[in-house]
Amino acid sequence: MLTVSSLKSLPEAISIPSYNLRDIKPSIIHFGVGNFFRAHLAYYIDRVLSLPGCQEWGIIGVGLRKGRGPEKKAQDFRAQQGLYSLTETATDGVSSRRIIGALRGYLLAPYESGNVLSCLASAQTKIVSLTITEGGYNMDEKTGEFRLDHPDVRHDLAHPTQPRTVFGYVVEGLRRRRQAGLGGFTVLSCDNLRQNGRVSQKAFTAYAQALDPALAEWMEEKVSFPNAMVDRITPTVSGVLAAALNRKSGLSDLEPIIAEDFTQWVLEDKFVAGRPPLEKVGVEFSDEVGAYEQAKIRILNASHIVFASIGWFLGLKHIDQVLAVPAVRDFVDRVMEKDVLPLIKGPKNLDLRAYKECVFDRFSNSAMADQVTRIAGDLTSKTQVFWTDTMRQALIGKQDTHRLIFIMALFLELLRQNQKGEEKNSEPSLTAKQIELARSDSLTASIELPLFDGWRDLITPDISARISDARTMIRGKDILDILPC
């Protein structure tokens, strides 16, 4: 087990924090302590903490869910005093290992609600960061508005001092700060969303407006929501992979993680309560975050779920195995070159074609063993976020859409067949009624699912018919035989 006292006895090849862990003061509260957060934001903050005079930027992690998995994570982090190992592996297989010390506490909100609220209300807290997934912002894709009718949101509005949601916690923390005469903090989304700062602002402000309009008005001045583009492939770590990581490192880490050696973070410099000097550890501050987001979401994320969907039909487990099938890689490359790249206006200094090639090479990293099921999960929210702009632009511009229509049919067929199976992917944004619709053998019924809400106004009878025709092909033939030219 990793502990502060065990650090000095670790193998020399493992990098350990150069700062004194006991000197770290937490000023960042993070909701959603998953592997991506631990390999990305916590990784950058770990490097910041090594800089002179930067020991105030430790992190307190918050989990919002009950259950065996969340409770084990909380126990593990407490046992290891927030420490864990990160293995970074390049495409050539060369790995390096480091102990991350940025996580200085972990709270499981269902059992420690008061402590979470106290942390949010503390004058020491300057940033509240989020990795709550694309679907976690509770936005209605049809209307673009925050869903006040969600049962947990309704609970929080009725019982604001006993919140269940991230919205309830953050806004109650801000209410207490305002009452105490303190300022606000920065809410920093690290999720794969277009304009994630704007979406966060809309969600939290809408919740506050429904609770207390005066508080919402105060937040407009006292809380900032910078947009951010984040990027690093960080696979799920199974028990088997965790054991393998520990064997290779010589550690007994209860919560090891692995990530590629590539990492990127582009941020707007809009931090109302101060920020760490992230530019000194590789973060880029830019006024072109939106352009970076467009490139990343519409090239990397969009292609990722296409590779995963085809891989699922092929019965492959890992993304690198899918990239190794020439017909699949060629198909997705055609889609990017012909249907996606021409529609994107990227940032000034980014070559979109070179970026696409870099992305495909990263996907081919076999050391990641990145799971097809992980990428194909939450397909509803991911389709909305990663494919809406491309579909809208292609249809409005009256471009050739036969490859794009096939991809939309592919997603619907994956949902249908997967949700009928024993090992179902998670689809948290679908209701039980919508899951039944996804399972339907009808070629047209599931077109009404929320996947296409962002461009539903452009769906004509002809487009519906073309999606149905493509679904018929997918059901009746080998997927490799029908990938469009």
284-285 and 264-267 as β-strands: parallel, antiparallel, unpaired? Answer: parallel
pLDDT for 198: 97
CA distance 151 to 155: 6
Kindly report the backbone phi and psi dihedral angles of residue 59, in degrees, each rounded to the nearest multiple of 5, phi listed first: -120, 135
pLDDT for 134: 85
pLDDT for 421: 83
Residues β-bridged to residue 107? 62
pLDDT for 248: 95
CA distance 379 to 362: 21
| DSSP string across 73-127 | HHHHHHHTTT-EEEEEE-TTS-EEEEEE--EEEEEETTT-HHHHHHHHHSTT--E
pLDDT in tens, the chain (485 residues): 999 999 999 999 999 999 999 999 999 999 999 999 999 999 999 999 999 999 999 999 999 999 999 999 999 999 999 999 999 999 999 999 999 999 999 999 999 999 999 999 999 999 999 999 988 999 997 898 999 999 999 999 999 999 999 999 999 999 999 999 999 999 999 998 889 999 999 999 999 999 999 999 999 999 999 999 999 999 999 999 999 999 999 999 999 999 999 999 999 999 999 999 999 999 999 999 999 999 999 999 999 999 999 999 999 999 999 999 999 999 999 999 999 999 999 999 899 999 999 999 999 999 998 999 999 999 999 999 999 999 999 999 999 999 999 999 999 999 999 998 888 888 988 999 999 999 999 999 999 999 999 999 999 999 999 999 999 999 999 999 999 99
CA distance 159 to 169: 11
pLDDT for 250: 94
The encoded tokens of residue 416 equal: 């249908």
264-267 and 228-231 as β-strands: parallel, antiparallel, unpaired? Answer: antiparallel
Cα–Cα distances (Å) from 86 to 38, 83, 97, 355, 406, in that order, read 8, 10, 6, 25, 38
Cα–Cα distances (Å) from 157 to 13, 136, 171, 357, in that order, read 51, 17, 10, 47
pLDDT for 416: 96
Cα–Cα distances (Å) from 288 to 155, 225, 227, 228, 349, in that order, read 38, 15, 10, 10, 10
CA distance 465 to 453: 17
Coil, strand or helix: which one is 15? strand
Burial of 464 (0-12, 13-18, 19+ CB in 10 A): middle
pLDDT for 420: 86
Tally Cβ neighbours within 10 Å of residue 11: 9
